[in-house]
Amino acid sequence: MRVALLSLVLCGMACSSGGSGGGGGGGSGARTDVCLAWQDAACDHFADQCATFSRAECDDFFQSLYCKSDSVMQACMDALPGASCTSLPVACENVADPQPAVNWCTDFIGRYCDRAAACGLASLAECVNAVQSSLNCSLAVGIGPSSGQCHSDLAAASCAQIESSLPSSCSGVIKLND
């Protein structure tokens, strides 16, 4: 029962789908100036021009993404001004690199379950299995800006807090592709 609860608490607090719950980017790897410009240009198009998202929702999501390369991102930015609001330019397909988010998510599960095991809430293996059954890190596409603070707060959290909820800095930090 405790293992199932830990799993629900973790995904219910740390995951967000479709771009809600934190933005700006954290995790491993800095974003280049071209990547940051692409994030802004994408929201200029999708939020400001097409009204597909509110600007806040768009920034929240796109700023959590990692870019594949400057040349790929530049090609997408060059294609956006002439793009329609109903179809994505070919140059903008599959331009985000999900691997840093997948890696951060996997590391997060390990850190969380290490704490849960240290608190006697579950064995490390039980916790990892339970959390992975509700949090599929292969669906991670981005990491919110509070990711570093989330790691710090998780390490400092009491056992009572680990059992009942995650630190608020962890809320929505993992962006999932739904």
pLDDT digits (tens, 9 = 90+) for 90-132: 999 989 999 999 999 999 999 999 999 999 999 999 999 999 9
Arithmetic mean of pLDDT, 4-20: 39
Arithmetic mean of pLDDT, 75-98: 91
Residue 30's pLDDT is what? 67
pLDDT interval class at 88 (50, 70, 90) = confident
Pairing of strands 140-143, 15-17: unpaired
Residue 29's pLDDT is what? 54
Percent of the chain with pLDDT over 70: 83
Residue 12's pLDDT is what? 39
Residue 53's pLDDT is what? 87
Interaxial angle between packed helices 99-118 and 2-14, expressed in degrees from 0 to 180 and rounded to the nearest 10: 140
Please indicate whether residue 24 or residue 170 has the higher confidence score (pLDDT): 170
Taking all residues of the chain, what is their mean pLDDT, rounded to a whole number? 83
Arithmetic mean of pLDDT, 70-95: 91
Does the pLDDT of residue 133 top 50, yes or no? yes
Q: Where are the domains of the chain?
A: 2-22+98-176, 33-92
Check: CB of residue 173 under 8 Å from CB of residue 22.
yes
pLDDT digits (tens, 9 = 90+) for 31-76: 899 999 999 999 999 999 999 889 999 898 899 999 999 999 999 9
H-assigned helices in the chain: 2-14, 33-43, 55-62, 70-79, 99-118, 124-134, 147-156, 159-164
The residue count of the chain comes to 178
